[in-house]
Amino acid sequence: MDKQIWRLAVRMWRPAFLARRSRIAAKGAAGHLRIGVAAAIVAAGLGTLSLASAQQPASDPNFTGVVTAMDVKDVTAGRRRFDPGARTAWHSHDKGQLILSESGRLRTGRRGEAIKEYPSGGSEYTGPNVEHWHGATPGEALVQVNIQFGGTTKWLMKTTDAEYAGKAGK
């Protein structure tokens, strides 16, 4: 879209510029000032059109309605394999975390809540500053994908065998 706007502007502006160049040169600095102002106006208009087109995406056969790609500069992802029974220490994320079980069963625990398990393809979102742990179930390895939304991770104490088994920390 930006290239089309630029080509149109050049096509409209160039013939007039070339026809008037000799007359403007005779007028001196005042003529050059007018050209500079006109160029600035055209550039500002193109910049505004470019920003508007970035905010209103072109129609795409893969989507219905307005769908806009968002910035992902603060989003990070990781992929880890946990042996059966392996798990993280208690921790929290100041901007939250999404965990997905790619293969195997995912076991998670949050402070004061019952343990949960998710099959392959299952996921859990943990909100900002929620103390939790996650890992594989006792009898099955896990490959997890984790996504953080920026911020930092605050690591706490190790998850005990009793907490992992659901017998403590509720």
Compute the distance between CA of residue 132 and CA of residue 108 in angstroms, rounded to an integer: 7
- What pLDDT, in 10s, does the model give residues 103-120? 999 999 999 999 999 999
Question: What was the pLDDT predicted at 58?
Answer: 61
Check pLDDT > 60 for residue 91.
yes
CA angle 157-110-150, nearest 5°? 80
Residues 6+ apart with CB under 8 A from 166: 109, 114, 115
Question: What was the pLDDT predicted at 127?
Answer: 96
Compute the distance between CA of residue 129 and CA of residue 16 in angstroms, rounded to an integer: 62
Amino acid at 38: A
Amino acid at 51: L
Percent of the chain beyond pLDDT 70? 64
Question: What was the pLDDT predicted at 97?
Answer: 96
To the nearest 10 degrees (0 to 180), the angle between helices 29-55 and 2-27 is 170
Could you give the dihedral angle defined by the CA atoms of residues 44, 50, 53 and 54, in that order, rounded to the nearest 10 degrees? Answer: -120
Identify any residues that bridge with 100 across adjacent strands, giving them in sequence order. Answer: 123, 145
pTM score over 0.85: no
Check pLDDT > 80 for residue 45.
no
Alpha helices in 28-63 (DSSP H): 29-55
Amino acid at 117: E
